[in-house]
Amino acid sequence: MRVLLLNPPGRRTYIRDYFCSKTTKSNYLFHPIDLVVLSGTLAERHETQVLDAMAEGLDEERALRAWRGPLPDAVISLVGSVSWDEDRAFLARLARLGPRALALGDVLQEDSETRLAEEPWLEAALHVFVNQDAVHYLEGNLAEVREMTLRRPDGRIERIRSRGKQRGSYRLAPAPRTVSRSRLSLLLRPFGALSPRRSRTTRCPYPCTFGVIGTLGFQTRPVQDVLEELDHLRARHARGVLHGPDLRRPKPRALELCLALERRGDLSWTAFTRPDTADDGLFAAMARAGCHTVIMGVESADEDVLASTERGLFRR
Mean pLDDT for each 10-residue chunk of the chain (316 residues)? 95 88 79 84 89 91 85 96 97 95 94 96 93 94 94 94 61 57 50 40 53 62 78 67 56 85 83 78 90 80 80 58
The CATH 3.30.750.210 domain(s) of the chain lie at 191-309
Kindly report the CA angle at 233 between 166 and 263, in degrees rounded to 5?
85
pLDDT score of 241: 63
**pTM for this model (two decimals):** 0.77
CA–CA separation, 123 and 73 (whole Å)? 13
Per DSSP, the three-state class of 242 is: strand
The one-character DSSP state at 169 is B
pLDDT score of 130: 83
pLDDT score of 222: 76
The CATH 3.40.50 domain(s) of the chain lie at 2-160
pLDDT score of 89: 97
The architecture in CATH of the region 191-309 reads 2-Layer Sandwich (3.30)
Q: Which residues of 66-83 are buried (b: 16+ CB within 10 A; e: fewer)?
A: bbeeeebebbbbbbbbbb
pLDDT score of 198: 37
CATH class of 2-160: alpha beta
- Please give the single-letter amino acid code of residue 19: F
- From 187, 170, 168, 169, select the one nearest 179 (Cα to Cα): 187
Residue 309 in contact with residue 209, Cβ under 8 Å? yes
Residue 275 in contact with residue 245, Cβ under 8 Å? no
pLDDT score of 196: 39
Residues 6+ apart with CB under 8 A from 270: 184, 186, 187, 240, 241, 242, 243, 291, 292, 293, 294, 295
pLDDT score of 12: 93
pLDDT score of 194: 46
- Cis preceding-peptide flag for 8 (omega within 30 of 0): no
- Please give the single-letter amino acid code of residue 48: T
Residue 51 in contact with residue 62, Cβ under 8 Å? no
DSSP H or E run through 3? strand 2-7
CA–CA separation, 294 and 292 (whole Å)? 7
CA–CA separation, 95 and 190 (whole Å)? 34
- From 4, 67, 5, 1, select the one nearest 34 (Cα to Cα): 5
Strands (DSSP E) along 244-308, which ranges?
A: 268-273, 291-296
